[in-house]
Structure 1
Amino acid sequence: MMRKTDPYGRDIPSAIPRPDVVSPGEIVPGYNPPGIPPWLKPIPINTRNTQEVLRGYLNANEPKIARWLYSTWNAEREAIKYQELRNAIRDHEMPLEWLLQWQQDYSRFVVEVLDPEWRKAIQSAGTKMGENIEAYAGRPFGFTPTGRRIEEWIQTWSGELAVALFDSQYRAMRAILRYYTVDNPVSPDELGRILRPVIGLTPKQAEAVRRFRENLIAEGLPLKAVEHQVLNYAGYLHRFRALRIARTELSFSYNYGQLEAIRQAQEQGYFRGKVVKTWMTAEDERTCDFCGPLDGQTIGLEETFPGLTKKLPNVLAPPAHPLCRCTVGYQVLERR
């Protein structure tokens, strides 16, 4: 039985050295697809204004996703009952009711919120890229926002994401619960005040909130002041995480929509030569140390760039990491 190809390209090794494993100060060597004769020249299909369009799309559509996450995390906090807190202290484990609710919430988030937003981003990016394809080829091009590749892309990522979001929340809450029921036991009321602010945070963020609380208590602050500052800090982390999820997921789908438009045009004979793609950063002070060296790197259409995380060791198109704002420029290699 043949192994199914990963629609993200994570199973295709990148020919470009990872920027975070080269020696400090060393420039990542340039890479170009092998076998390209010198008499070919790159003709751009899209330009750097693609980066501005991407940023505009992200800014316009991130708030809706973030608001849904805020409201869901708030509802999960309000749903915690006193008897469940007592059971958690008795069992040193989270009640099944919480776990089932979180699984359901993240499944709904993926199906009801992200799935349509992914498809809208793919449609928007593909249509916009279609305008560039028409300008290049001199004839109409119609982008099709459906098909096997798009469905495989969405199905693969939706299943992984729902599990990853639940698992992150489970691990974060379990660590805090164990600390306050085994290492430093507290009353049900106090446990509720401690747990509610960290619902929706990652394990690292939840641990940061726990340490922040402990430090404030060690300083001798009144309990009311401690709770106020903890809520403010946790609220900041919730806003950051919601933005991180919204921006990353929209970036995934928008960049994939551009790639799919190029693939469709290539299959329909719109290009007169080999198509290559070039990494493009936002070219501002917020460009990270990982993506900066990738700027301008050119590879073949179905080759991959290096990704930053274990979950994304290689990528067919940005993002290379959460909150990445990069995109890709496409070119056709033609005779000079």
Structure 2
Amino acid sequence: MADDLTRDQKEAERAAEEQAAVIAAALVLALLSLRPRMSVVMWWIPDTWADFADDVAKAIAPASKAHDRAARAVWLGYDPLDEATVAAEAAAREKAIRDIVDNTRKAVEKVVAWGQMNGVTGDDLSAILEKVAGINANQAGPLLDIWEKAMEGGAAAEKAAKLLVDAADKAVKDRAKTLTGDLLWDAVQAGRMAAGKQEQRATNAVVTKRWVTQRDELVCSTCGPLDGVTVHIADPFPGGFMMPKAHASCRCHTEITVSEEGMF
């Protein structure tokens, strides 16, 4: 498939790949930084989540490098300090941070509710919170199942705790990897869009974007019908998407095309 990609898209993929390891490692540390702050009486404190948001912001900052490099591959005249581009990138970054923080907090709330419903003591619940903080809401249920089964099976508390920590550590790493992939691909697609919009504003050209899937058996029912659809750079694709991704772990990308005025 790589041989079929344009030079611009190959450069975009390289830009994302070069930042992936850095961001994933930083996100793991940011997610784990919550654990010492977790207890039944402390988890809800606003400063805890404000500090966590700051840690996440620092972790994902290198995505801007992928954004700008992908943009320059589309148009050499791309200006990273363009006012509209800076505003759009800042809004996307804030949304990404907010989503990560909200989903992390929902996981903590889910664990607290589970503990209260099952009569878990405050000390035991605090210990569990400290071990699993950093996961997302979807990961909470399976991790709590591990704890319950271990305890129901007569495992010593130390063994149950070890099983829980090992599973939670893996969940955090898996989450960081998925988040990194989504964040970088968002940044790359946004960079390509930013370059296209800047070129349109700076020239008399008509700039369009085309949705491209991986064109294999894994393409989903949402993205499949979008493959090959071309629209003006400022217009949404069918379904209201301005650009990929259409869903988590979406593998689609955009191709930016420039033509003479009036040709589209």
TM band (smaller chain): 0.7 to 0.9
Amino acid paired to 2:235: E
Structure 2 contact 197–234 (Cα < 8 Å) conserved: no
Is residue 15–residue 65 contact of structure 2 (8 Å, CA) maintained in 1?
no
2:227 alignment partner in structure 1: 295
Question: Is 1:281 the equivalent of 2:213?
Answer: yes
Amino acid at match of 1:322: A
* 2:83 corresponds to: 148
Change (3 A) 1:173 1:60: same
Which residue in 2 is equivalent to 1:101? 48
Aligned equivalents of 2:153, 2:238: Cα separation in 1:
45
1:229/1:49 Cα in 2 relative to 1: closer, same or farther (>3 Å)? Answer: farther
The Cα offsets for residues 87-123 of structure 1, whole Å up to 9 and x where unpaired, read as x3xxxx64454x412222213422x343x42431222
Q: Which residue is 2:22 aligned to?
A: 64
Give the equivalent residue in structure 2 for 1:196: 130
Provide, for residues 172-229 of structure 1, a one-character-per-residue CA deviation record: whole Å limited to 9, x for no partner: 21221132235322251x3233112321122221122112322333344444443333
Say which SS state the counterpart of residue 230 (structure 1) adopts: helix
Q: 1:318 aligns with which of 239, 244, 250?
A: 244
Q: Of 77, 97, 106, which residue of structure 2 is paired with 1:162?
A: 97
C-alpha deviation, 1:158, in angstroms: 3.2
Alignment gaps of 5+ in structure 2? none
Residues 51, 282 of structure 1: 8 Å contact kept: no
**How far has the Cα of 1:49 moved from its partner?**
4.7
- Structure 1 distance, partners of 2:181, 2:258, is 29
Aligned to 1:331: 257
Distance of 1:222 and 1:108 partners within structure 2:
35
Change (3 A) 1:222 1:185: closer
Distance (whole Å) between structure 1 residues aligned to residue 66 and residue 166 of structure 2:
33
Instruction: String of CA shifts for 1:159-181, please: whole Å, max 9, x gaps.
Output: 33333332222222122113223
* Separation (CA, whole Å) in 2 of partners of 1:247 and 1:235: 19
1:278–1:298 contact (8 Å) kept in structure 2: yes
SS in 2 for 1:315: coil
Corresponding residue SS for 1:124 = helix
Tell me how far apart the structure 2 counterparts of residues 322 and 249 of structure 1 sit (CA, whole Å).
10
- For 2:161, the equivalent position in structure 1 comes to 227
SS of corresponding position for 2:95: helix
Indicate how the Cα distance of structure 1 residues 300 and 210 shifts in structure 2: closer, same or farther if over 3 A, else same.
same
In structure 2, the partner of 1:269 is: 203
- CA separation of 1:126 and 1:298: change in aligned 2, threshold 3 A: same
Any conservation in 1 of the 2:189–2:243 contact (CA below 8 Å)? yes
Rounded Cα–Cα distance in structure 2 between residues aligned with 1:54 and 1:282: 15
TM, length-normalised to structure 1: 0.67
Letter of the structure 1 residue corresponding to residue 139 of structure 2: Q
Partner-residue secondary structure (3-state), 2:187: helix
Identity rate of aligned residues, in percent?
22
CA distance in 2, matches of 1:275, 1:315: 17
Determine which structure has the larger helix proportion and give its number: 2
Task: Please report the RMSD computed on the Cα atoms of aligned residues, expressed in angstroms.
Answer: 2.7
CA deviations 1:50-81 (Å, max 9, x no partner) are 4443333332212211211211232321344x
Question: Does the 8 A contact of 1:275 with 1:331 survive in 2?
Answer: yes
Q: Which of structures 1 and 2 has the bigger CA Rg?
A: 1
The aligned length equals 258
